[in-house]
Structure 1
Amino acid sequence: MMQFKQVELINYMLNNKAKVLTSQQLADALHVSIRSVKTYISQINDSGKGKVIISNKNGYMLNIPIAKSLLEQENKLVPQTYEDRSNYIIKLFFLNHTNCLDLFDLADDMFVSDSTLKMDIKKMNKRFKSFNIQFTIEKNNIKLTGPEKNIRKLFSYILYEEVDNHYMDLQVLKKNFVNVDVDSILPIIRKAFIKNNFYINDLALRNLLIHLIIIIERIIEGKTVSNVVLPSFDNEAENLCVSEICENLEQQFNIRISSEEKNEIYMLFKSSTNLVINNSMQDLTLLVGEEIVHQTKELVYLIKRQYSVDLDSENFIIPFALHLKNLLLRAKNSTYIKNPMLEMIKSQHLILFDIALFVSLQLSKRYQIIMGEDEVAFIALHIGGEIERQKNNNSKVSVVLLCPSYMKIESRLYNELLLNFNNDINIVASVKDTLQLEDMNFDLLVSTIKVKPKVHCEIAVISPFMTQGDKFEIQAKIESTQNNKKKKVLKKYFHDYFEEDLFFVCNKSYDMLQAIDLLTDNLLNMEYVRNDYKENVLTRERAASTAFGKIAIPHSVEMNAYKTCISVMISRSGIKWDKQRVNVILMIAINKQDNNAFRDLYESLAVIFSEENNIELIKECDSFELFESTLKSIIS
């Protein structure tokens, strides 16, 4: 992103009728030195796709088409809203590895006044209050203070928000990998999976797709890798599926896929279909060697320590270790591949690219190699893909399959679970005995034997050959687990959403509008919401009442609050709400950055307060402390 003075310089030259301007004229117009003007011009020319400002013996001329294109691109990068600016500020703290930023330089960079920026900082303290960090302004410097652990959690939060569900969208892949017919690969994968009765969800399909695109490009460019060790994979169904994919890719792209690359694709197939059971890590070690597996795990540890981002999953480790092996071979042979997504990743995923850069520096130090930005961007793709997978699985029930290994029954049950319940579950492991469960974290155990595990979880006992009755049993346990998880959301984040200053006991005869007035006015006074919040709440209410049973959950049609929070009003006698009378009002204000939390929040409240007994308990609460203890007691 260009500096304010650089943009001002281009605009001045665009608006000036003179074709050629001297450095002195430009310096006078910008109120800077001639030396500064020359520095700005050099920086502008470095940031453009061509020479933006041309110099000759008479002065400087503007290349108008390129200048206009650069300004248009710049406008897209400049943060436009408070939310965008607050995220940008946090990213700057992160990327500059500092806890101090110059207020005036920052205001110039974002084309806002220093007073606007000061207001943004005030709002940021409210928005990120739950992280127990503080943004302060001292001597025209913005400072970020707080425990290092909390600051890293904040950076991690912003990173996860940055990686959205369109990170590796199909259209993005097609736009960037123009040399590969992406559309022709998808039917090949889908046909092989359906024919061999394997399941793959859309996210896993995209992850597999991008790895195949990279392999195909590498082969087309003649940059294949020779085989070192060829492990033998004895699962006939999996081998058949992978062989079919490889044969069709060879025919489609007129290439030859070596045994080495076929084994890579086999491992990618295993991780993409969640078939990460039994011997996957042993197979990986045979394919890439102990050193690379160890190095991959070491990098996972360092990323978690440095950035509070947990990538410790076989779904990440397997494909990344495969990539790392090829990366090191390319570096050793001084061969490199172009990454067409480099500019997109650098401009749109700053923190992600910084983490990838951190990884590349570790590898450069460890193996004495030089890595270009294209390789760094490939690392970013792997990290971003895993973060996207985690976000996609957060709302799912984590499942462990317990099944003694006999006639490959565990593989068949594993696949049947995916085929029938993949939208609701994330299978984290398949184990043979209860001893393996002790250090695991999961929600539901699906077992072919009756057990009493030491860990607390729901249990569905099924037969080795899944029947319709077994499916009903699993579905019932999934729904029970989902409801319990929704309740726990409120307990875990209670103090992030609820505050004593947002709690009211109503002893008067209020109606709906009076209750909304009181709650919204209080939120406005606390500067948690915008001025149009009340009208947006009423707009939502006019569209359809938010009351059900004896509770109302009013909220704005826009998710633009400064801070996500819940205002509470309790009335023993009840408040007339449309055609109903409610005893509990929970007014939700949502910040755009927390929009993913809205559904979980709403459903958590609905699950708890849909039960008559819970309403009766809550409506007796006459203090915030009693409300907190009662709600947590209900959840427990």
Structure 2
Amino acid sequence: MNNGREIGYNVLKWGDHMQSKQIELIKYMMENKAKVLTSQQLADVLNISIRSVKTYISQINEIGKGKAIISNKNGYTLNVPVAKNLLTHENIIIPQTYEERSTYLVKAFFLQHTNCLDLYLMADELYISDSTLKADVKKMNMRFKSFNIIFAIERDQIKLLGPEKNIRKLFSYILYEEVDNHYVDLQILKSNFKNIDIDSMLPIVKQIFSKNDYYINDLALRNMLLHLVIIIERIREGKTIPDLARGLQDKEGEDVCVSELCRKLEQQFSITMNEEERREIYILFKSSTNFVVTNGMQEVRELVGNEIVEETKELVYLIQQAYAVNLDTENFIIPFALHLKNLMLRAKNSTDIKNPMLESIQSQHLLLFDMALYVSLQLEKKHKIYISQDEVAFIALHIGGEIERQKNNNPKVRVVLLCPSYMNIESRLYNELLINFNSDINIVASVRDSHQVEELNFDLLISTVRIKLSVPCETAVISPFMTSGDKLEIQEKIESSLNNKKNKMLTRHFNDYFEKELFFLSNAALDKMEAIDILTSNLYDKEYVRKDYRDHVLMRERAACTGFGKIAIPHSVEMNAYKTCASVMICSKGIRWENQLVYVVLMIAINKLDNHVFKELYESLVIIFSEETNIELFKDCKTYEEFENTLKSIIG
């Protein structure tokens, strides 16, 4: 087996120190580390004699730093730390689960440049029986069903059958799944494709794009490089996509750019591409790059077409209607229309770009992700396409970027500066606050004495002295000479003040959104569907939602799980409830929500007339219920009144 390239696991290749049976012995004992094993048991498992067992154990203990296997009158036990060091020294990571083994097998096809593997050799390398491997291969046809390929066993051979295009997609998928956050950087490409000079490929791609006025972002560039090296590698192995002689039929500039790229790659790597291979690169190019726009909206219309521009504006309108967020600016519409053109092309060709920021956006910017998901569902419904969560995260970045640009127009935190007058310190601090925090704060007053503070209406007090006020308020005590630590303290207090504003809104409207008839306690463990059915049925009985509400809740749930931490906030993809409300379920034994256990479910229904409050309501609930200590308090609630008092005490 060629072990020159690595993807995830090291290809199993035993070192010079231990034989395969010795490693198999340690692995078996690792799986049964709590047991005392006899020589006979080990001999039966390894299919060797008792004498050989004793010899192997003696040799293992000589190799290890300390005894890896300890003997006593009842048999043998494993010294786990020493045994782990031995396996680490041998550079061995053995796949343990079916998912890990199936991934290993796909990589083996790729690393060995073959579509056929020896069944018994692979079983030996994986330290499983041939019957277990056969069962794994059958399961693989389900795991990788979407790639439209087949794993077959014929005459003790495992075969990979399917169109070359689909096999390449499978290889790129496996590589993305094996790296942290799905971010395939240059180092990973170099370590996995050592026979291809990545460093010489990168300037070729960049130079051609730059010369022809095409722009590609870093993530799309990494994605393009991965697919290009797979194409080059497979062509070198004689595995090409059948030539359908369709050619390139699009804009002249794009054709010229792609033709030049293909010609340079052929020269650099001594390969010949047929027209279908060139078409694959053309689609990759079209879905990854944008022409540099210099003349505004008119040029965008020429590049992407009126249909996509109008669809972008329609999506902007829908976001405004659903979330009361205005994205109707050229700063948003121009780059998003260009992005939408590429996204649609990727979706229609069943490809996407992995987004390494998906997890952080999904967990830390819930409302932003929800807005992007709403956009993707509109596109899916209209065009009958599938949009992955990675693509949803890119939409979220566009929306978030525009919201951030508009931040200066958002309500600011009202600040009072308290600083005794001495050597003009108060004026200098005032100016520093404006320089560092102008987009977030509005300084309503600068005062010298504490009694002046009591008369003012503000959100945050920034003071150079510690004072006691009759009414508690958010306070940042800083030094007369603002330090970096002071700036961090002020930023934290600004964010805390904004959260307090949202929480006060929740307190003010508590009785508008929550009510006793929408509160449920469960002492029995439930699953997600049971909880959703209970809450939606109640909303139907109260006539607060339309008949299709449950369908829209499940549509949102299928698009992306609404559970995070120990809370779930299911809601409809449409804001068409008859009444804005929040239905609550607390389950002390937990509700199985996909792969996690939640204890509080908040089902939100929004009337479109209240869409302006959705953002504040949603974010307030997320802030409060994402704190694990708060969840513990809510779990102890036995009545609606206790729930209300707990929520208000946390806000207070």
TM-score (norm 2): 0.36
Report 1 or 2 for greater relative contact order, CA contacts < 8 Å, sequence distance ≥ 6.
1
Structure index of larger Rg: 2
